Amino acid sequence: MYYVDKTKYIHELEALPNYIFLIRPRRFGKSLWINLLQYYYDCNREDQFDTLFKDTFIGQNPTPNKNRYMTIAFNFAMVDPKFDDIQDAFQRYVNNMITDFLNRYQQYFDQKILSEIQSLSFIDEKIQMLFLYCARKQLKVYMFIDEYDNFTNTILTTSGKNKY
C-alpha cells in the first residue's frame, strides 16, 4: 500500500470560496479526499485528531477550522439508479443521511426541532428546516457531495437520453 499525504492542500482549500467543486478523472482519489476532509472538520472527532492525523502535514500544521463543523456527506453512488425507482431511492437515501446527521449531532439540537424535522415527509422540507435552524443557531455545517453524477450517468447509459 502507498499513501501520498495531500493534507497540505487543506490550507489552500480554506483560502478558496465557500463552494468548491472538484472534478478529476475516475480513480483520482476524490472520495478518499472527501472522507479525509470529513474527519478533519468534524467537531465530534476532535478527540481523535492526533490518532488520525499525527503523521501528516496537517497534523503538524492544523488550520483554525480543524474540528469546527458538523459534517454531512452524501455519496450518490449509494442511490439505486434503476429508472423506475430512482426518486424513491433518492428520497430514502437522503432521509437516512439526515437522520444519521441528527443522531450524530443531537447535542446541538433541542428535542422539539429534532422531532419536527423527523416528522416531515419530504426531504426538501427536512433539509430546509435543518439548515434554517443551523443558521439561526449559528451552527456551522460542512456538506460534502460525492458521486453527484453517478445515477445520472447510469440512467443515460442504461435507459438513454429520452428517459433521462
Q: For position 93, what pLDDT does the model report?
A: 94
**Mean pLDDT value of segment 115-124:** 95
Backbone phi, then psi, for 69, in 5-degree steps? -130, 155
What residue segments make up the domains of the chain, in order of their start? 1-68, 80-139+154-164
Sign, Cα dihedral of 62, 67, 72, 76: positive
Calculate helix-pair angle for 123-136, 86-104, nearest 10 degrees.
30
> For 46-66, how does the pLDDT look when each residue is reduced to its tens digit (9 = 90+)?
999 999 999 999 999 999 999
What is the pTM assigned to this prediction? Answer: 0.87
